[in-house]
Amino acid sequence: MWSKCVRRFSTSPLTRVRHPKLRRSPHYATLTDRDISFFERLLPDGRAITNPDDCLPYNIDWIKTCQGQSQLVLKPKTVDEIQAILRYCHEHQLAVCPQGGNTGLAGGSVPVFDEIVLSLRSLNSIGAFDENSGVLIADAGCILQTLDVHVNQFGHTMPFDLGAKGSCLIGGNVATNAGGIRVVRYGSLRSAVLGLEIVLADGTLLDCLTSLRKDNTGVDLKQAFIGSEGILGLITRVALACPTAMSGVGLGLFSCSSFEKILSTMRLARKLCGETLSAIEFLDASTYNLSLKNLQQTNKPVEPNNFYILVETMSSTYEQAKATLDKLANTALEKEFITDGTLAQDLKQYKDLWAIRERVPEALVADGYVFKYDFSLPPARMYKLVEETQKRMKPFSNVRNVTGFGHLGDQNLHLNITVQNGYSDEIKHALEPWLYEWVAKERGSISAEHGLGLHKSKYLELNKGKQSLELMKQMKNIFDPKCILNPYKVLPYKID
Amino acid sequence: MAIRILVGVKRAIDYAVKVQVKTDKTGVVTEGVKHSMNPFDEIAVEEAIRLKEKKVAQEIIAVSCGPTQCQETLRTALALGADRAIHVEINGKDYETLQPLAISKLIAAVAKKESVDLVLLGKQAIDDDCNQTGQMVAGLLSWPQALFASKVDIKDKKAEVMREIDGGSETIRVKLPAVITTDLRLNQPRFANLPSIQKAKKKPMAKMSPSDLGVDIKPHQEYLSYEEPPKRQGGGRVSSVDELISKLKEKGLV
């Protein structure tokens, strides 16, 4: 029964079928019965999973773009167990795919071939929270939302927020240097990570878990691991600086006729909302309409137009958060930057308006197969890329929507193309490498926050250049000379 | 002839807020806590506006009883489409001890003063859950009442109302003037749009006091203490039917 349901949901063919040029490296051993017995003894109570149907959800990514064929999923509960697993895999040259909440969008969280899945889900105790420094210590397998609720009790909040908060794990968030909707206010996750505990590829423990705001002693090793997507080491514990929670919030959704007006509204928001500004997001008409359709929202929040901008304010009182937002709304209307808007009158409207933006990924998946791109671009050029992609996709009758939306305040565009009847090689080749070359020419980033994973690793040199790439490979060699951690991803390299 | 509607709106702690009881048990914490229009009142306002859009109503008056902050709630009602607002100002201790009977008397007085044809209220407020004001207003005015409305049709000075009741729903017809209270399924309130929010600032808001309306708001009940409900005890797991039976016997349940 369960297997039937899961098979129906797995609409992606195997990664090795979709990427025939990718070959499983002979460098890695194949799992033997002896290996399986070892793991079953190490992780009793069903935490070494070999049943193919039970392994399936760990083999497919959230947006159904890749499917691996791992035959073994491990769920360690302690750091000792993780060390023992990696020691064994290192000795026997078994490839490992570390996995958090499996909510990644670049195909980096699931096996490509038969790598062993090392799920951090069960390593989930919440450590101490220091009220004087606002520092939280937590295991890598804690769910972001659970941690947020935990620090809320002390009047603090997590230093980042994203739509996947109910499913993503903090270890994965740090391994991918997650972005999200509050970078405008809290900055990048890097600045909030004060310490990490890491298990290296050979099972040794690297203890960089200090909870100090300031510690200028030597080379800051932990920075290498943040955003390294599991290729340098496995993060097992994090120390995070959590800002104080603001009790007052305000949210406005505004509609504009052109992208230039969106940018004018954004600049005005920065000026008028000042220190209360906490999020700036934009959506184009197709994204907005798809999202409303998916939410089955019959009440239109604003008069339809070509673009929509969401501005959030936060302050220690509601009055303050409301005052700056009101000022923005009135001025923007007067200056005719916006044609309509609405301000959340209560917390339910606040949630409903945010849902229009936060649940866009679901709406896209419901619309068809999603080609997902995540770029950093100069704001003035951002929407040009969407328009050119729309032109380029015109000859394809199975393209449903070309949508542009994203973290306007961070110059981050999410460009998504939805296709009916599933994945298409033709469309893929029309989009890549054209899109990446376009972005590289603008000196933008080929992946602002989603990381490289499996899908984008081959374009890394386009973005960073030969010399940087060489140094990255050397670093990989220092930390994981046997190359067992998350192979085939992030760095475009051949395993000899 | 298009009717005139009086809509009551209450400023209550926002429905999404986790309410905390004060340590001295004299009430709940309201300082610095987000307050918004009572959700059932939002539904009442929405229904009034729809009646105006259908040209069944010609004027909507919003009324709220309480401190200055109520004016914000009234402005929201105006932004949604009410024509004018009446703020019955009550402050401090008087507001803390304000009870449904007093509020009903105030609303009834305003309804008479404004000669309205319909009083639309939320069925209950989410802070006290009293579910009394609509009923008492009707009683004081000797008007018919149609409560827990999930559908309202007004024609020829009569209102046909489908009501949510325990067994399902019933439809009754009442002659106007009448009191109708709204239930959840009546409609989905709209978002207030910016141009209306701005226009609302200029719509008339009258201020009056209980004595202006000749109402004595003296409370008849004294609240002795506020406490949180007992914390939910976790359940336990049993591994066999025998263990279940012995546990039940232990607790004296079988």
- Whether A329 and B34 lie within 8 Å, measured CB to CB: no
Top residue of A303, A345, A354 to mutate, by most chain B CBs within 10 Å, is: A345
C-alpha distance from B7 to closest chain A C-alpha (Å)? 18
Q: What is the DSSP letter of B229?
A: P
Amino acid at the residue A489: K
E-state strands within A323-435: 340-343, 369-376, 399-407, 412-419
- Whether the pLDDT of residue A495 is over 80: the answer is no
Residue A66 CA to residue A55 CA, distance in Å, equals 14
From the list B17, B190, B195, which residue is nearest A299 (CB)?
A: B190
Buried residues in A66-97 as b, exposed as e (16+ CB within 10 A)? bbbbbbbbbbbbebebbbbbbebbbeeebbbb
Q: What pLDDT, on the 0 to 100 scale, is given for residue A82?
A: 98
What is the domain class of A248-360 according to CATH? alpha beta
- Bridge partners of residue B3, in order along the sequence: B57
In this prediction, residue A464 carries a pLDDT of 92
| Residue A226: per-residue pLDDT | 97
User: CA–CA separation, A450 vs A471, rounded Å?
Assistant: 22
Find the CB nearest A330 among B188, B192, B198.
B198
In chain A, % of residues over pLDDT 90: 90
**pLDDT value for A494:** 61
Across the 254 residues of chain B, what is the mean pLDDT of every consecutive 10-residue run? 95 91 91 92 97 96 97 96 97 92 97 97 95 97 97 95 94 97 95 92 96 94 90 84 90 86
Amino acid (one-letter) located at A139: D
Residues of chain A with CATH 3.30.43.10: 2-119
In chain A, ranges of CATH 3.30.70.2190 domains: 248-360
**Contacts A317 to B, Cβ<8 Å:** 32
Binned at pLDDT 50, 70 and 90, residue A65 comes out as confident
Nearest CA in chain A to B197: A342
**Per the CB < 8 Å rule, is B192 touching A340?**
no
B191 CB neighbours in chain A (<8 A) are: 299-302, 342, 345, 349, 353
For the domain spanning A126-241, the CATH number is 3.30.465.10
Class of domain A2-119: alpha beta
Q: How confident is the model at residue A6 (pLDDT cuts 50, 70, 90)?
A: very low
* Amino acid A496: pLDDT: 41
What pLDDT, on a 0 to 100 scale, did the predictor assign at position B205?
A: 97
CATH domain A368-450 topology:
Alpha-Beta Plaits (3.30.70)
| pLDDT tens digits for range A88-121 | 999 999 999 999 999 999 999 999 999 999 999 9
CA–CA dist A270, A251 (Å, integer) = 14
User: Interface pTM (ipTM) of the complex?
Assistant: 0.85
Q: How far is A6 from chain B (nearest CA, A)?
A: 29
pLDDT at position A107 = 93
Residue A296 buriedness (CB in 10 A; 0-12 / 13-18 / 19+): exposed
| Structure confidence at residue A12 as a pLDDT band (50, 70, 90) | low
Q: Regarding beta strands A126-130 and A193-199, do their DSSP bridges make them parallel or antiparallel, or are they unpaired?
A: unpaired
For strand B158-165 and strand B168-175, is the pairing parallel, antiparallel, or unpaired? antiparallel
Distances (CA, A) of A79 to A102, A350, A397: 20, 40, 51
Q: Quote the minimal CA–CA distance from B98 to chain A in Å.
A: 24
- Rounded mean pLDDT of A297-324? 93
- Check residue B31 and give its pLDDT: 85
Average pLDDT, integer, range A172-198: 95
Determine the topology of domain B3-250 in CATH: Rossmann fold (3.40.50)
pLDDT at site A11: 54
Are B193 and A333 in contact (CB < 8 Å)?
no
Paired tokens of A271? 């000026």
Q: Residue B14 and residue A347: Cβ atoms within 8 Å?
A: yes
| Average pLDDT in chain A | 93
Strand order in the sheet with A248-256: A340-343, A248-256, A307-315, A277-284, A399-407, A412-419, A369-376
Please determine, for residue A272, whether its predicted confidence score (pLDDT) is greater than 90. Answer: yes
- Residue A443, pLDDT > 90, answer yes
How many angstroms away from the CA of B32 is the closest CA of chain A? 7
Least confident stretch, A7-11, A73-77, A264-268: A7-11
Residue A2 pLDDT: 47
Q: In which band, very low, low, confident or very high, does the pLDDT at A5 lie, cut at 50, 70 and 90?
A: very low
Of the partner residues B17, B39, B194, the one whose CB lies closest to the CB of residue A341: B194
